[in-house]
Every structure is written in structure tokens, then in C-alpha cells.
Homo-oligomer: A and B are copies of this chain.
Amino acid sequence: MGSTSLKIKSKAQDFAPNGSVGQATSTIRRTLLPAAAKEHLTLEGRLMNAGKIFQQNFLIRSFDVDPDYKVSIKAIMNYLQDASVNYRKKMGMSAENLLGVTPEMRTRDLIWVYRCMCIMVDRYPSWDDFVQLHHWFSTSGRTGLRCHWVINDIKTGETLVRASSLFVMMNKKTRKVCKLPEEVENEFKPYLTINAESIVENERNSCPKVETMNHIRTGLTAGWNDLDFNYHVNNSKYVDWILESIPRSPVHNQELCSINIEYRRECLKDDVIQSLSKVVTDEQTNHHGIELEHLLRLESGPEVLRAKTAWRPKSVCR
């Protein structure tokens, strides 16, 4: 990773978040199953550690891999989101509501929105690999709920992906962020891990200097297939847009090893997006990889998201 400025914790630390998840991590280790048992693994996910950890398995499909036969970063984001939705369903939240709205949230017209997301890929799984995901929640200050995910190779237990995100509450009518009401926190309490350190640290990205961003792609729009259940652009679509402006030349033989996204604004179907990128650490100064800064904004001006990505030489070239 060289001089990357994304604060990524060491692998040894990742498996030992503080507090009540400590015990659970040894449970995670014990539940790694041999390859022969993979046919019998549940795909719908299950609660572990008295409900404080959710476990789900994924078989990597041919349509979830990129031209290098490795799972795409978009597919990884889909897996994380799917586990989060399934965990909330297991908690007894409305099964037909994929956004995990609790009864107390419904009363107050509150919804969850992504504030930031950080994904660190140690190794990309390939087509037909079977992976196991563990997911847990913790509170974050007075406004947010932090999600933590780890994806392991099911045969070896090797950590492949670590991710963390912050959700905040938004009033559906005013579209303003608000504090996490005590009543909603109480609904989540049985499932919350208190004082858990983040599996990956979400760092606030500094304000990007638009005039220095020299790789630009304009006219990006969302298709019908990119919308979520609120008819907003799905979280994972933003990653497609970020990738649209990356310069081909420095990243041709590199693979994404981490992405840190800070969401600033929702997008709707007919919004027209500009994607801007800048190489901040290139191969000249860092032989281990490069780093880029990214900005998505509406063509009319307002910022949609800021992001940083780090890239390393491809582990296996096609």
C-alpha cells in the first residue's frame, strides 16, 4: 500500500474489535467450514453471537466478475448491502422493506442514508469462489449507526475484504439529517456492539480542488436498473461513475485495493453527473501503487460525493 493516506488497520487488529464482539470473533474462526460442506451452507444468512453478528455466504457468479475474472468492486458493494438488508430482516424489521425502516422510524418519517463507506480489498475472490461474510453494527456518536463487514475465503478463512460504513438518519420529508432518536436506538440495542472499533477507518476527505482535477467524464446518467426502492440512484452505481473518469494509463496494470467514499447528496433518475479524478500519488513516486482523488457532481454544480482510491499492481494478470 506504500504511502496511502487511507488509515487501514493491520489484519491482526481487524479480527479483534473491542467490547462484546471480542468473543464473537473466535466464534467466526470456529465456524469456518471445510470445502466439502459448502453445499450445505445457508445463503439466506443467520444470526450468531446472540444476534450481534450476522453471517451470510455468497457464491461468486460469472456476472459478478470483471474481465479479469475477479469479483468487481460493484458486486462487493452489492454483497455488503445485501447482508445489511438481510440482517435487518432477521431483526424482525419489515421484510418487504429493503431499507430496514423500524416501526419507530416509520412513526417519525425517518430513513437511513449512507454518509460514508470504506472498502479495503486484501485479495479479490474469483468466479465460482465461495465466500463468507460477517457483519455487525455499532453506534457512532449521537447521530449514526456504523456497519462493519469482513469477507473471508470459505475454504481457508483468509480475510479478503474489510469494510465499514456510517449511516445517518434523515427525515424523509425535510431531507435533513437528524439525531438517532433514543426509541430507534432501543430497537437496535439488542444487536448493537458497544464501543466497537471500526474494522476500517472512514476518514473525512478534504475538500477537493476542482480546478486541479484533470480527468473528466461528463454526461453520466442512471438507467432504470440503477435505482433503489426509493427510486434513488443505488449506492453501488456511484462506484461505476467514479471508475468512468480514472485515467487508463496508470491503472492499466493495477487493481483497486481501497476506496473511501463520502456521500454528500442523493441522486435521482434524470440527474446528469460529471465524474472528475486526479492522480495524487503516481508510480514515479510510489512503486507499490497509486492513489487518486475523485469527485462526482451534478452538471449544475452541487457536489454528489468525494472519494479516494488506492491501487496496487495486479496480483494476477489475465
Give A residues with C-beta under 8 Å from B: 39-44, 59, 61-63, 66-67, 69, 72, 74, 78, 81-82, 85-86, 96, 98, 127-128, 219, 223-225, 227-231, 234, 236, 240-241, 243-244
Contacts and interface: CB of A to CB of B under 8 A. Distances in A.
A274 to B, nearest CB: 14
A229 B69 contact: yes
A63 B98 CA distance: 10
Contact of A225 (B69, B219, B234, B243): B243
A128 B44 contact: yes
Contacts of A223: 240-241, 243-244
A244 B227 CA distance: 13
Given A40-B39, A69-B98, A225 B86 contact: no
Given A66-B225, A223-B244, A225-B243, A61 B40 contact: no
A296 B42 CA distance: 41
B98 A228 contact: no
Contact of A39 (B42, B63, B85, B227): B42
A40 B43 contact: no
A81 B98 contact: no
Contact of A63 (B43, B236, B240, B243): B236
B236 A224 contact: no
14 contacts: A39-B43, A43-B43, A43-B59, A61-B82, A62-B86, A62-B98, A63-B81, A63-B236, A69-B96, A69-B229, A223-B240, A223-B241, A223-B243, A223-B244
